[in-house]
Structure formats: structure tokens, C-alpha cells
Amino acid sequence: MVLVTELTRMLGIKHPIVQGGMQWVGVPALAAAVAAAGGLGILTALTQPSPDALRVAIKETHKLMNGRPGRFGVNITLLPSITPPDYAGYVKAAMDEGIDVFETAGNNPGPIIKLIQTYKAPGQATVPKRYIIHKCTAVRHALSAQKMGVDCLSIDGFECAGHPGEDDIGGLVLLARAAEELGIPFISSGGIANGRGLAASLALGAQGVNMGTRFMATVESPIHENIKEKIVASNEKDTVHIFRTLKNTARVFKNKVSTEVVALEKRPYGAKFEDLRDLVSGARGKVVYENGDPDYGIWSAGIAVGLIHDIPTCEVLCDRMVKEAEDVINRLDTKIAKAKL
């Protein structure tokens, strides 16, 4: 049995599995490994310091693929900022290098989506077909992106790492609502780490899954081995939400720093971002992945940590997940058939 879905047909990939874009984690080594394993690998644009650096990363990813079949794309996450990055520059650099799959996320994606849909790279006579997977935390946002002409939606449930939105809707209901409302394919994101999650996502109407935290604990993941082992040793209660009072909720690993942030937010007079800035610095989070100290800074993790028990290669993980999902589906078929007798 092979899990063929609208996602695998659309992108020409073997498995309906997407590696989510993760700051400092979505680098060539991981994206190439996921792509070669049959999933969709993702380079995170803003991990690179400039559009030109992204060009280099794309070339490196192709080199690491070493001619093996597989596909990878680029994540563009639009962040609220007074001085935003050169998003258009990153997108154009990716398209100039032949990238035709994008994962987009964040506020006001319209201009970037339009750019992806209309840009002609140097030497191109016509605009090639490009695929956009837009990540949303609410059905209303998904419907807006659908109107913008994206090809697929990634529905991010409350279980996810990073920003789950402010509605606090878990994947079980959110995916079922997406199936009721959407007219284009969608994949599930948040809380997925094994074949059961893949099978459940398909049952709820998704055409595949997006995983971040699970891919952090793989051989090819670029983060420090101590952090991978910390993920394996953790359970589903080892994450916490920060920025709840600032209406910018983010799920991160529960450590000394995130516990301090939550305590500051719970003060009777609350906390302003300026009070938290040094604690939540992205630079400190990057160092966590480099030096292996899980308490050095804030780092993202979803409650899927409770389902992660080993550190396999991306190939072993993807093949195992699909086999597990097939076994679950076959068992359900058998139970239904017996019930009919």
C-alpha cells in the first residue's frame, strides 16, 4: 500500500509529509535529507542573513541531494516588525534559483503570494507553475488565503510549536472544520510525530502532514545532540505558552527562561515586551541549538515531544511513519469488515 494523496500528486513526492519551516533548523542538511527521504524538505529563508545567502543555501541543498530524486521548497514567514526583512528579495532569490514550492506564513501574505504567482525569473519567457502552501491557525484565515489562489493550506492546531494563534482550537476540531469549509487541499500541522497522527490526519480530511518538532530529533537535524536527547526525554507536558498577555501566543519548551517569562506575564501589572526582550532574544535561542544548553534561551517545541522516543534518520522516520499509518488504516478496514459480517 502506498499513501497517494492530492499532496503527493501535486508535488510529485513519495510521502505526504512536509518538513515545516523552522528558524535555525530549516537548513540545507535537513531539507535535503527530508527531500531524499520522499517528503517535502523546506529551507527557512530568514535563517539566512540575506537573499544572496539564501541563494547559496539553495545551491548547497541541491549539491547535498547529489542527483537523488526529491523536492524541497522555501519557507517565507512574515513577522510583525518595524524594520521588516527584504521578503521580496528572499522570494525573488529563491525563484531565480528555480524554487517552485513555497511555504508561506504570517500576517498579510497577499503581496508575497502575488509575487510568487507572477514573477518571471531572468531568462523565463513565461511564469512557471509554482506551488504555495500557506500556513493558517484559523479557518477564516485559510478561506482568505484560498481566495488569494494558494494551492494548499497547512492548518496549524493549538498543539503546534511556535505561534498557534489566539483561538485555542485543537487539531481534531480545526481539521474537521477545515474539511467542511475549504475547497482546496490542506495538510495538518501540530501534534504530529508518528503514523497514527498521519492516519488520523488523513481521516480528518487532510492530504498530508507538516512536522517541525519531530524533524528536530533526527540524525540530519542541525541542532546540538543534547537538545535532540532532551526532546526524546520529554513528555507532552514539557512545553509552555509565552506572550499570552501580549496576544502573540507562542508555544516553546518549558525551561528556566520560559518559566521566568510566564512569571513576569502573570504579575498583577503584567509585562510589556520591553520587559521580556532580553529573555526571549532570538540570538539566545540560536545558541541553545549550538551549545546544547536547553536552559540558555527560548526555543520552540510542540506537544509532539511526548510522542518522540528516538533520533532516526529522516529516511527511517518517513518510511516508518507511512508504514505505521498503513497498518492503522488496514486494521480499521479489518475491524469494519468484521463488523459487517
Domain locations along the chain: 6-226+304-340, 239-300
Q: How confident is the model at residue 240 (pLDDT cuts 50, 70, 90)?
A: very high
Other Cβ atoms less than 10 A from the Cβ of 338: the count is 8
Question: pTM higher than 0.85 for the full model?
Answer: yes
| Predicted confidence (pLDDT) at residue 341 exceeds the cutoff of 70 | no
Give me the pLDDT at residue 338, please.
64
SS3 content of the chain, % helix, strand, coil (to 5): 45, 15, 40
Give me the pLDDT at residue 82, please.
79
Amino acid, single-letter form, for residue 317: L
pLDDT tens digit sequence for 95-135: 999 999 999 999 889 999 999 999 999 999 999 999 999 99
Spatial separation of the C-alpha atoms in residues 159 and 180, rounded to whole Å: 21
Give me the pLDDT at residue 80, please.
81
Give me the pLDDT at residue 34, please.
98
Give me the pLDDT at residue 339, please.
66
| Predicted confidence (pLDDT) at residue 91 exceeds the cutoff of 70 | yes
Look at strands 17-19 and 186-189 and give their pairing: unpaired
Report yes or no: 317 and 209 within 8 Å, Cβ to Cβ.
Answer: no
Taking the CA atoms of 234, 221, 72 and 92 in sequence, report the sign of the dihedral they define: positive
Instruction: Give the architecture-level CATH label for domain 6-226+304-340.
Output: Alpha-Beta Barrel (3.20)
Q: Report the chain's mean pLDDT, rounded to a whole number.
A: 96
Give me the pLDDT at residue 12, please.
97
> Cell for 301?
517545541
Give me the pLDDT at residue 81, please.
80
Give me the pLDDT at residue 340, please.
67
Give me the pLDDT at residue 1, please.
59
Spatial separation of the C-alpha atoms in residues 139 and 284, rounded to whole Å: 33
Q: How confident is the model at residue 79 (pLDDT cuts 50, 70, 90)?
A: confident
